[in-house]
Structure 1
Amino acid sequence: MVATKVRRAIESIDPNKFTMYCQFHHGFPHGACGDSSMIIGKLLLDEFEIDCDYVTGNCTIEGHESKTHVWLEYEGYKIDITADQFRDLFRITEEIVVSTNHELYKYFEVKETRKISEHFPNELRAAYILIRDLIYN
């Protein structure tokens, strides 16, 4: 599964090999949902011609600061390799979610949805190549 391969690749790479503009340089999985979703989405597009939706959402839970999150959606499935960053807040046990009905997403109000094919940031190209080459070479 591409999601698992990308997660394991990111975990295996020294964070200092990513540029300072990449969320993986600063930590993973916490705060790395946007870049993770972009990388997986680009791999799915390039390797399988699957153009996922890049979805941003936020939630406010009483007693906690507002939280934002990013994940992919395709044909009703939510794809997320950073779900475990919400382990304590929402009691999420999975690192990776590929599901049509996972409880995590009921907490988030969708703010924006766009196709991966519409935009891939130049700042992520080096990280994308590093991860892609590790997975497919």
Structure 2
Amino acid sequence: MDIEAIKKEVYKAREVFEKHCNHISKTFFGDFPSASCGPSADLIAEYLLSKGVQNIEYVYGERNGGSHGWLEIEGHIIDITGDQFEEGIEGVFISSNRDFHNQFSPQTRNDKPGVNGILRDPYNKFKALMETHA
């Protein structure tokens, strides 16, 4: 899957979360996009992996007592929750520009992102919505 196809899926994912956050999981996404960065990144990573996307990393950093997580794919930052910050970025951010994300430091990288047991049910709901969302 090339970056344009990935972008299409990521924009669709943001729409699905906006419209169905409580259905997917009120616990993890009830205040979407606030406090939803890690779980939403995990669900998107799992979905993209199921579509054959490789080299996905989950990146996590801290700033001023808070934290933020996002995905990176071959130098492209994929972030659908950066707009939760007052001085944040747009709702869907797909770019190699690191200015905003470099504020979160130190950064921890996980090259095996995806869904663990607690997110399996929300992922199944998310995946079904992604596959039926036009």
Compute the TM-score of the two structures, normalised by the length of structure 2.
Answer: 0.83
Q: Find the aligned partners of 1:96 and 1:5 in 2 and give their Cα distance.
A: 10
Identical residues among aligned pairs (%): 29
2-side partners of 1:115 and 1:96: how far apart? Answer: 22
Q: Which protein is bigger by CA-based radius of gyration?
A: 1
Partner AA of 2:82 in structure 1: A
Distance 2:82 2:26 in 1: 23
Total equivalences in the alignment: 125
TM-score (norm 1): 0.81
Shift of 1:48: 2.3
Gaps of 5+ in 2: 1-7
Distance 1:73 1:14, change over 3 A: closer
1:77 is matched with which residue? 76
2-structure distance, mates of 1:73, 1:132: 20
Flag structure 1 segments of 5+ consecutive residues without an equivalent.
61-65
* CA offset digits 1:22-69 (Å, max 9, x no partner): x11x31000000001001111111112324101110112xxxxx1200
1:1-137 equivalent positions in 2, closer than 5 A: 1-13=8-20, 15=22, 18=25, 20=27, 23-24=28-29, 26-60=30-64, 66-86=65-85, 88=86, 90=87, 92-117=88-113, 120-137=115-132
Root mean square deviation, CA, Å: 1.8
Where has structure 1 moved over 4 Å in runs of 4 or more?
A: none
